[in-house]
Structure 1
Amino acid sequence: MTMGKPAVQAGAAGVSAMTAPSGAAGQGWPAAVVAVAVGVVVLLGMFSGTVVATVSTWWNTGSYNHGLLVVPVVLLLVWERRAALARVAPRPSPFGLLAVAVASLLWTLGSAVAALIVEQAALVGMIWGLVIAVIGWRAAWQIAFPLAWLVFAVPFGDFLVVHLQDVTAWMTVGLLRLSGVPVFSDGVLLQTAFGSFEVAEACSGLRFLTACLAFGTLFAWQVYADWKRRLLFVIASAVVPVIANGVRAYGIVMLTDMVGPSVARDVDHVVYGWLFFSVVMALMAGVGLLFRQPPPTALPDFVGPGRGGTGTVAAAVVLALGVGAVLPGWLALGTIRDAHAAGGRIAVPLALGVPAGWDDAPPRAWQPAFAGAASVLHEGFAAPGARLERIAAWFPNQEQGREVVNRQHDLLGPGWQRLSSARVALTVDGQPVEALELRLTGPEGARRVVWSWYWVDGAFTGDDRLAKLLQARALLFGRSDAGALLAVSAEYADPLEEPATLGALRAFVVGQQDLSRRLADAAEGLPALAARP
């Protein structure tokens, strides 16, 4: 009996030893939570332009409506981790300040080149850095997934629309042929015995893909403990919606044959638009639950509080906000944009010249649109057996809404529809370029091929991302950030004429001389005359 008492006392001491550190760790959290909350609110206020643009996209664009739920879900996920956080005392970390500095630099570059998605991603990075700066990397690791899931607040995915259209058209054609339905396809246009169909941008399935990927990532984290299962379910969340959208498009074509186009359209909006994808997501969740795993019960090892207490936490959030404001503040003062304009410049008209062997000719009725372009040079040319157009959309001073890389640009023009997209290797003024190729169909079955690429900071490129990086390079080194979107295009009536048309386009592109120099001359302008006293 006497041996039992020490055992009980030891047990009580053991319980005390297990609970006391947790309580000690939790003592620093009220100040840390307040600091993080205030810091995030101030940070969002500092970058209110980016925040407003992001929320507007969530609200007005169907593909990103799920963004409205991201912040509440993240807060709920953090709340679920409160027991683990209580065992890891907040310890402000300088690594968070480094993360804020890198993200701030990224935001500054994104703002300088008017790349909103870069600004949005950088703002998420600054939030990550601020959290780490205030509570430390060990505590932040306990809420790593909620922080990472903030990525879905960034409206990304528009670049996938064209590719998703092509995949959906390819799947629809394959399923129709497997069903014994004769179909002729020309890019995204399908022709059957009972009607013509177009896989439009709205049919690309981007909305379902983005929502399903966000849901699948959250589901995988909550239901599985094993990283392999999580990864497999996330991959399935990206693949299944693409396949489901192809099945949906196939179903609409078949339904049109059975009940007519008007009824099929209504069914698509009511049944396929909501019910079909809801069922698909429910089936994914049902199958996923069959392989669910019990959640881990182990709590992290105790990490005691560091030095400094509330004062250190307050200093950390102030430093994080200060670091985040330095570079954007510099940009706001116009330091970068004024660097290449010192002394003043006089704009000169853009003139590209006529390649040898070609004559001026009236351009045909093709009217692409370029948002925010300062000027658009639209010229027609003719040579024996060939006729084509050249367009140069000129952006001498790029800013938000007036940039050379802008998804609002329309290379199709009224009356034209995209058939397919591809990449074509060209040599432009001696520089190799992988240009974008668009095949279009227009009035009365006319066909058109469009090759387009960019010129920025003395270089040609067909890559949107590289064009933005070239613009950033020009700004950082004090050069003009002027840019041009260049396109050559030719129209033809018979598909058999396409090889000859492509040959004429290639000969025209190769024949353009001093193109880069002429663009550079327009970008640099003429020195302004010194003002007389």
Structure 2
Amino acid sequence: MTIERIHSRSFFRAVFPFLIAFTALFLLIWPTVEGIVSRWFKFDESYSHGLLLLLVSVVLVVRTVKRESPVTGFYPLWLFPFALALLAYGLGDILRLQALREITVVPLLLGILAIFLGWRQVKAFIIPVGVLFFAVPVWDYLSWTLQLITVEINRLLLGFLGIDFKVEGVFVFLIGVGTFEVAHGCSGLRYLLVGQSLAALYGELNFSRLRSRIGLFLIAVVLSLMANWIRVFVIIYMGYETDMETSLIRDHDNFGWWVFAATLVPLFYIGRKLESNTIEKKAVDEGATVATNVQSQRRLWTGVLVVSVLPFVVGAVLPSSAGQIKPSPDAFDFNLDEDRYAPLFGNRLNGWRPQIRNPDLVFTRTMFYREAASGDEGPDQQLFVGVYSYEHQRHRAELVQYWNHIYDRSEWVPDGFFKVKSPSGIPLQGLTLRNLESGQIIHLAYGYYVAGFWETDQLRAKLAQVASFFSSRTDASAVIFGVACDSCDGEAALGELVGNIMPTVVGQVDQYFLQ
């Protein structure tokens, strides 16, 4: 019993410095960690493996501790990269760039380990902790590139079969058959992340040579991408052969995982070959252990104090990024020409409405031209005007965020793109949508109005947030116009609506935020 108490006491003394340092760090980065974990619970997205990867990481860390028996010390040289990571996190907080905050989480964790263990000991923890990077939702920025690569591969494959098709952006139009969108979920990102994670874990458990680990990792990347290319090609081809009646169109997720599982067979076969053909005996690093008398307790606790204070200093100088989320948005009080436009009941346009999360102020109106309605017949055009504004951007209340979409991709598919110009020359992005079930067509024009600047691209709208730190305006708005009609020229009708309404809407938005 006495020996067990001694062991427990020594174990507590060994981990206590880490507990203090990690607690101080998590008090700073908790909103970001919470956002990452919330993505793990979305089981139909690319990061649903995050919870499992966290469990694997914990097991690997415990395994490494038992194997290496690390000795705690203080290595002040590593304070510099740790401080740089804190600075990057603070910059991401100031600019409201969630990706920059998220990308620093794993380096911050490894930074604390390096400060107390030094390079010779911390390098054994790089993979056990680093695998969490494959569950951090910063990989979405690869999605667009992966979508374009997938489209080009399928353009090549479909060309060999003599199929009549054309490609526009991420849309594959099968002439006379239908349209496929290589959307975010078809980029292959989820297969890539899982493949990378498996390759990293296999290398950690079975390889000691860096060359073997890198080789297997690169092979996993290629095979994971190939699985997605094959999946998308088969779905498009079967859609062509069955006149869009194949069940693979709606059940493509399960089919994709079966294809991906098939690619794991050659991956693990190659891994086994590398394992048997390479001398994989771990060399003993004589300098890996540190005598307990090298670092005094006073020096160690000085390091604990410095590491714990740094996150509090960064947190104290940063502006609050939390902010209060309104339970329901306030209403803009806009005045439109009531003699010209009559309201319609509801805030949807043929079942469509944008997906905007946690706005502070909202104005939506569905209406029609009064002079166009005659007799018992209803209006031949339905019009939509929507303004979704944030007084200032903060965590979970940002104009450009993962949950904000112009349309629900499970219900609508784009049929074309065009440009719309306002009377003041401001360009808006034009979009024609078709409902997947009813086949109804609507036409939209939208733009992002950030701190007085207009953008049509989400990335540029995100970067425009920087301007709010150098001006008196902190607002950001999505401005959307829509037209639904059966026999009219939708693009022309949309252009007329923008020309009539946009100056009034923008003027009243400016008046509200500049007062």
TM-score (norm 1): 0.67
- Check conservation: 2:388, 2:478, Cα contact below 8 A: yes
Percent identity of paired positions between Structure 1 and Structure 2: 19
How far apart are residue 483 of structure 1 and its match?
Answer: 1.0
How far apart are residue 387 of structure 1 and its match?
Answer: 11
Question: Among residues 105, 112, 129, which one is paired with 2:111 in the alignment?
Answer: 129
Question: Among residues 279, 289, 299, which one is paired with 1:312 in the alignment?
Answer: 299
- Check conservation: 1:161, 1:206, Cα contact below 8 A: yes
- Check conservation: 2:331, 2:361, Cα contact below 8 A: no
Equivalent residue runs for 1:134-283 within 5 Å:
134-159=116-141, 168=150, 171=153, 175-176=157-158, 178-179=160-161, 188=171, 202-219=185-202, 231=214, 233-252=216-235, 272-283=255-266
Q: Is 2:76 the counterpart of 1:94?
A: yes
SS in structure 2 of the partner of residue 454 of structure 1: strand
Q: Is 2:475 the counterpart of 1:482?
A: yes
Query: For each residue in 1:125-157, what CA deviation from the matched residue of structure 2 results, as whole angstroms up to 9, or x when unmatched?
Result: 332232222223454345334443332231333
How far apart are the structure 2 equivalents of 1:233 and 1:427?
A: 53
Query: For each residue in 1:400-434, what CA deviation from the matched residue of structure 2 results, as whole angstroms up to 9, or x when unmatched?
Result: 33221122223126996233798979899688x8x
- Check conservation: 1:457, 1:474, Cα contact below 8 A: yes
Residue aligning to 2:378: none
How far apart are residue 373 of structure 1 and its match?
Answer: 1.9
Structure 1, unaligned runs of 5 or more: 1-27, 339-346, 526-533
Q: Is 2:359 the counterpart of 1:373?
A: yes
How far apart are residue 205 of structure 1 and its match?
Answer: 3.6
How far apart are the structure 2 equivalents of 1:429 and 1:312?
A: 66
Residue type at the aligned position of 1:70: L
How far apart are the structure 2 equivalents of 1:336 and 1:478?
A: 21
How far apart are the structure 1 equivalents of 2:28 and 2:295?
A: 27
- Check conservation: 1:66, 1:211, Cα contact below 8 A: yes
How far apart are the structure 2 equivalents of 1:507 and 1:48?
A: 43
Q: Which has the higher contact order (CA 8 A, sep 6+)?
A: 1
Residue aligning to 1:402: 397
SS in structure 1 of the partner of residue 512 of structure 2: helix
Query: For each residue in 1:45-67, what CA deviation from the matched residue of structure 2 results, as whole angstroms up to 9, or x when unmatched?
Result: 66544444433322333422322
**C-alpha spacing 1:134/1:255, structure 2 compared with 1 (3 Å):** same
Residue type at the aligned position of 1:208: Y
Residue type at the aligned position of 1:238: V
How far apart are the structure 1 equivalents of 2:208 and 2:68?
A: 19
Residue aligning to 2:4: none
SS in structure 2 of the partner of residue 290 of structure 1: helix
How far apart are the structure 1 equivalents of 2:54 and 2:61?
A: 11
How far apart are the structure 1 equivalents of 2:457 and 2:253?
A: 35
How far apart are residue 280 of structure 1 and its match?
Answer: 0.8
SS in structure 1 of the partner of residue 229 of structure 2: helix
Query: For each residue in 1:188-246, what CA deviation from the matched residue of structure 2 results, as whole angstroms up to 9, or x when unmatched?
Result: 46658888866666555432222112223444566667766655644443343333223
Residue aligning to 1:55: 37
Residue aligning to 1:342: none
Residue aligning to 1:325: 312
- Check conservation: 2:88, 2:100, Cα contact below 8 A: yes
SS in structure 1 of the partner of residue 414 of structure 2: strand
**C-alpha spacing 1:418/1:161, structure 2 compared with 1 (3 Å):** farther
Residue type at the aligned position of 2:134: F
Residue aligning to 2:513: 523
Residue aligning to 2:451: 457
SS in structure 1 of the partner of residue 478 of structure 2: strand
Residue type at the aligned position of 1:313: L
Residue range with higher mean Cα deviation, 252-261 or 98-107: 252-261
- Check conservation: 1:54, 1:120, Cα contact below 8 A: yes
**C-alpha spacing 1:301/1:513, structure 2 compared with 1 (3 Å):** farther
Residue aligning to 1:471: 465
How far apart are the structure 2 equivalents of 1:120 and 1:192?
A: 43
**C-alpha spacing 1:403/1:52, structure 2 compared with 1 (3 Å):** closer
Residue aligning to 1:18: none
Residue type at the aligned position of 1:441: R
Query: For each residue in 1:89-143, what CA deviation from the matched residue of structure 2 results, as whole angstroms up to 9, or x when unmatched?
Result: 6542334444444444444555566655444333333322322222234543453
- Check conservation: 2:53, 2:132, Cα contact below 8 A: yes
How far apart are residue 464 of structure 1 and its match?
Answer: 3.9
Equivalent residue runs for 1:353-368 within 5 Å:
365=350, 367-368=353-354
- Check conservation: 1:395, 1:482, Cα contact below 8 A: yes
- Check conservation: 1:165, 1:199, Cα contact below 8 A: yes
How far apart are the structure 1 equivalents of 2:456 and 2:65?
A: 49
- Check conservation: 1:166, 1:188, Cα contact below 8 A: no
How far apart are the structure 2 equivalents of 1:177 and 1:141?
A: 48
- Check conservation: 2:334, 2:505, Cα contact below 8 A: no
How far apart are residue 321 of structure 1 and its match?
Answer: 2.1
Query: For each residue in 1:19-63, what CA deviation from the matched residue of structure 2 results, as whole angstroms up to 9, or x when unmatched?
Result: xxxxxxxxx999555422553356446654444443332233342
How far apart are the structure 1 equivalents of 2:294 and 2:190?
A: 48
How far apart are the structure 1 equivalents of 2:79 and 2:474?
A: 30
Question: Among residues 255, 264, 279, which one is paired with 1:294 in the alignment?
Answer: 279
RMSD of equivalent CA atoms: 5.3
Query: For each residue in 1:412-458, what CA deviation from the matched residue of structure 2 results, as whole angstroms up to 9, or x when unmatched?
Result: 26996233798979899688x8x766452248655555454433333
Residue aligning to 2:374: none
Query: For each residue in 1:281-331, what CA deviation from the matched residue of structure 2 results, as whole angstroms up to 9, or x when unmatched?
Result: 222232344345333644446375686522322332232122112333555
Residue type at the aligned position of 2:287: F
**C-alpha spacing 1:85/1:273, structure 2 compared with 1 (3 Å):** same
How far apart are the structure 2 equivalents of 1:421 and 1:217?
A: 42
- Check conservation: 2:120, 2:287, Cα contact below 8 A: no
**C-alpha spacing 1:102/1:429, structure 2 compared with 1 (3 Å):** farther
How far apart are the structure 2 equivalents of 1:308 and 1:171?
A: 57
How far apart are residue 484 of structure 1 and its match?
Answer: 1.2
How far apart are the structure 1 equivalents of 2:116 and 2:392?
A: 40
How far apart are the structure 2 equivalents of 1:454 and 1:259?
A: 38
Residue aligning to 1:393: 388
- Check conservation: 2:73, 2:117, Cα contact below 8 A: yes
How far apart are the structure 1 equivalents of 2:24 and 2:95?
A: 24
Residue type at the aligned position of 1:393: Y
**C-alpha spacing 1:142/1:208, structure 2 compared with 1 (3 Å):** closer
Residue range with higher mean Cα deviation, 136-145 or 167-176: 167-176
How far apart are the structure 1 equivalents of 2:487 and 2:144?
A: 25
- Check conservation: 2:331, 2:362, Cα contact below 8 A: no
Structure 2, unaligned runs of 5 or more: 1-9, 325-329, 370-380
Residue range with higher mean Cα deviation, 396-405 or 66-75: 66-75
Residue type at the aligned position of 1:40: F
How far apart are residue 371 of structure 1 and its match?
Answer: 1.7
Question: Among residues 414, 421, 426, which one is paired with 1:419 in the alignment?
Answer: 414
TM-score (norm 2): 0.69
- Check conservation: 1:404, 1:483, Cα contact below 8 A: yes
